[in-house]
Amino acid sequence: MEGAFGQIIDLIRKGGVVMYPLIILSVISWVFIVERIVNLRVSQFLPPNLNEVKLLLQKSDIESAHKVLSLNRDVFSRALGLVLEEYLKGNRRRADLTALMESELSSLVPAVEKNLMLLSAIASIAPLLGLFGTITGLIKVFSAYASVQTEEAMRLLAAGIGEALTAAATGLIVAIPALFAYWVFRNLGNDLIDRIEKEAREILSMLE
């Protein structure tokens, strides 16, 4: 274990100072990835008893459907509950109910897209930091040629090449998972929003 830890420390030293911000970005990106895995689920945005609510609405039992929705705490249930309240009050215009539903569900988009822009930013910044580390490593390589002593020149040459390659590789290692996760969660989020909109349209059509 200590040997592996020592190798990691040695790798960080070989990569130069740019390795520290890359490690920080890697930790942040994985925190965001885990957060999205936990929170970007259908159960977080659609109530588990949605089918029961639909059956009640098909039977025109609006009051019972409203009571079932009141047991939930998700945004969709709250939005649909407000729509049913308006319906029970006598406001049965499709345009008004649709506008109310859209207004309440608008808060779902930021929740679905949470941290995605930060993942995209990390995927863009990490390769640039790796490139910066590559440049500083090449500077050491060129400085080796200016060294008078051959042994010192070879040491600087090896250190410069090692820093350049390590920094470039680390930048890609940080960027690739972040970019992959960004597109996966973006597509999952778009599918989720489409499903929520479809469910909302279907329920509004039941109230006509």
Q: What is the pLDDT of residue 35?
A: 93
Distance CA(4)–CA(7), nearest Å, equals 5
- The yes-or-no verdict on residue 133 having pLDDT over 70 is yes
> 54-75 burial string, b = 16+ CB within 10 Å, else e?
eebbeeeebeebbebbeebebb
Give residue-wise pLDDT tens across range 79-96.
888 888 888 887 777 788
Residue 127: pLDDT above 60? yes
Domain range summary for the chain, segments of one domain joined by + = 17-41+113-199, 42-110
CA distance 59 to 117: 43
Q: What is the pLDDT of residues 149-205, one digit of tens each?
A: 666 666 667 667 777 788 888 899 999 999 999 999 999 999 988 988 888 888 888
CA distance 98 to 197: 11
> What are the tokens at 93?
């215009």
* Residue found under tokens 């929170």: 39
Is pTM, for the whole model, over 0.85? no
Q: What's the rounded Cα separation, in Å, for the pair 64 and 45?
A: 21
